[in-house]
Amino acid sequence: MTVYNFSAGPAVLPTPVLEQAQSEFTDYKGSGMSVMELSHRSSLFDAIIKDAEKRLRELMNIPDNYHVLFLQGGASLQFSMVPLNLAQNKKALYVNTGSWSKKAIAAAKELGNVEVEVIASSAKDNFTYIPEITPDMIDQDAAYLHITTNNTIVGTAYKSIPNAGNVPIVADMSSNILANDYDVKDFGIIYAGAQKNIGPAGLTVVIIRDDLLGLYEVNEPMLDYKTQAAANSLYNTPPTFAIYIAQLVFKWLQELGGLPEILKQDQEKAQLLYDAIEKSHLFTSPVRPDSRSLTNIPFVTGNAKLDQKFNVEALAAGFENLKGHRSVGGMRASLYNAFPKEGVQALVTFMEKFEKENGGL
């Protein structure tokens, strides 16, 4: 039985990447050692991390005045690092579009010396859309505007980035990095946990504009962007194997044709599923059409018992991790870059069969 992994993260990785990692697992480039055993100060690993950065810069067209950092702690640590480095004794603006936005807001408030202002929220409508942000809503004296570009749990995404004037935009891009056509120059900081579109859990990518380094004294060097940038992500032992897999994923993306090609493929995959939902008399999308994500697509029957039945039968048929997040229920298909189109086609066929058998219940 073919298994399709719809997990929201850790998520599916490209098969060619896994196969190359397998072939090099016990002996990387004749070293007699696995990448997991290489010193992070070795010439072999130095080549890996430098090539990973080079390829990511090429893929995302990252300007020279931005640092690329390979860190640890997940996006969740960035919830604290961002205000600690950018907004001590200043105001920070946030848009609340779901669970991860709420956690970022809470972490900033916990610091105690940051004035947190939520300028827009879709909470009253169960986060089913991205609220409009207009320039007049943004205090130009604020340290930054924080957004979550794709909301994994509820399946919403920014189609365009707000105009924040001179206020730097900080983006949690964990679930749609490398799957969008955003311009890096529109952001002051982009951060992303790797476990969705980049590689294994344990690596966090941070892209930060140079002028945002060293704005404040940060007494903990591990949490100081300036310290991490000065050490070229090697202040301590980085997640070496995760960086190696990320390098292979970046190479795989480039060989496919880069972000324009993978975005085209992502759009085709998402459209297949959205079209099936729209023509269905059983399944519906809870998300407003203008805010729908390409990478995380929730759908429901409107009947909790029928949702449960679908999830049980889908799992038995080889569709892994389709159950919606515990906070919202229903179903959710996460279609990251490495997820195959044939998996979406198989899901649509299964949904049609399920509807014929259960649509009258």
Per annotation, catalytic residue among 51, 125, 136, 172: 172
What single-letter DSSP state applies at residue 90?
Answer: S
d(CA 246, CA 203) in angstroms, rounded, equals 9
Which single residue is written with the structure tokens 């993978």?
Answer: 262
Instruction: Examine the residue annotation and report whether 266 is marked as an active-site residue of this protein.
Output: no
d(CA 147, CA 97) in angstroms, rounded, equals 8
What single-letter DSSP state applies at residue 327?
Answer: T
Written as one string, the DSSP assignment of 118-143 is: EEEE-GGGTT-SPPP--GGGS-TTSS
Per annotation, catalytic residue among 29, 196, 279, 307: 196
244 exposure class (CB count in 10 Å sphere: 0-12, 13-18, 19+): buried
Instruction: Examine the residue annotation and report whether 172 is marked as an active-site residue of this protein.
Output: yes
Q: Six-digit token pair at 211?
A: 């002028």
What single-letter DSSP state applies at residue 39?
Answer: -
Question: 3-class SS at 256?
Answer: helix
CB atoms within 10 A of CB 115: 14
Instruction: Examine the residue annotation and report whether 183 is marked as an active-site residue of this protein.
Output: no
- Please give the backbone phi and psi of residue 146, each rounded to the nearest 5 degrees, phi first: -105, 130
Q: How far apart are the first and last CA of the chain?
A: 28
Contact assessment for residue 116 and residue 291, using Cβ atoms and an 8 Å cutoff: no
Per annotation, catalytic residue among 100, 226, 269, 323: 100
Catalytic residues: 100, 172, 196
